[in-house]
Chains A and B, each alone.
Chain A
Amino acid sequence: MVEAIDLHKDYKIGKVLFPALRGIDIKIENGEFTAIAGPSGSGKTTLLNIIGCLDVPTKGKILIDGTDISELGSKEKAELRKNQIGFVFQTFNLIPVLTAYENVELPLILLDMKTDKREAKIVALLEEVGLGEFINRRPNEMSGGQQQRVAIARALVKDPSMVLADEPTANLDSTTAKEILALMQELNAKHKTTFIFSTHDQLVMDYSRRTVNLRDGRIVEDKTKPRGQG
């Protein structure tokens, strides 16, 4: 479970203090499929980065499974990211010199998993995201949708407790975006992994069960669709 209590974040741009988050209180349960929505500059990416241990709040607490991560050192946060958190980016961010297989393999190398064990896992996962035939392709030999599937597989391969996706569909056409969202929904259901998105794409909100709307660093709406919907 992720819990934010009175979360503030200020950026200093030159001498001007720019408040990105102005007191966020939110709880996200394990296994949720949640979109954090809002226009650009609303603070959604900042919130996601703080949840993902990439950024630290100026004020307030952020608890992951009861641990206040704003108290952690950078090494401990790296450990946490390595073990618990998978990332999916707007620009896919695959390593261009590595094949689909190798990109997915990277997090497992960090976890020191044995080669034979990881091979089975990677192949299965790539099959699962529909890239069985593309495992030896490099990113520049794949379409955007395929690259994002690799990125999703990379985020999930280490069985994280949550996947943070920053505008995952922004660089995809709507058909592909739907496919990707459907895939993530399916994986969420199957692996019970928490998915948290930042987005301003209505499509993402359509697919997610809970949508938290941010504006100027504050939550303006938090609605959860009843079960069975979306």
Chain B
Amino acid sequence: MKITGKFLVCTLISTAILSAQTGMEILEKVDDNTVVTSSSYRARMTISLGGTIREKEFTGYAVGKEFAYMEFTYPARDKGTRFLKIGDEIWMYIPAVERATKIAGHMLRQSMMGSDFSYDDIVENRRLIELYDVELIGTEEIDGKECYVLQMMAKVTEVNYYSRKMWVDKNMYAAVKVELYAKSGKLLKEVSISDFKRISGYTFPTEIKMINKLRQNTYTELTLEDVELDIKIPDRIFTKAYLERK
């Protein structure tokens, strides 16, 4: 009874505060915050799999949500492996093969470079507000930060994840945690962002942790460094010719 009472009070209070802002408006702001015109960065990927930890490094460039380019620089066996994203197509180049191959169909579901990210996670390029109906279902504290909790249900058919639950930092209007659900309601992945940097007026996530909930003891951490935003990036980087260059 006590718990129920407390929950009720909480709900009432939060509804009062939130009435000023709808879930849609919050998500709109989150989308605005993540959609940069262009970016370049160095990334370190830490893949933890049942206790063993592997590190990989790559540099990346992106323009909007349409174009992205990644090239691995470490370790030696992955060096020179490149990815190019144009819209919802991904091309992969492995030096030993000397030809780019398209990653399509069910291959998109596979893990990228052994991490907890699937290629799907990289392809997604639409604003969330276009894909989901949003409902603000409360506030919660995460790592000492006050967050809005958004419940999102797909409003179009072509989405990777049927529903999402998102915790949005009240101050930064940036997602600090996202849960990704299957249509059946099963939790598939959990993304948490533990660090942001203020760059060129954006609140940009620089520490991202992805956990595949279907497997135990695995996670992938992505740390971004030397981030530059809204800079000029040559168009030729986002071409197959550049991907396949020797």
Chains A and B directly touch (beta carbon < 8 Å): no
Chain A residues proximal to chain B, CB less than 8 Å: none
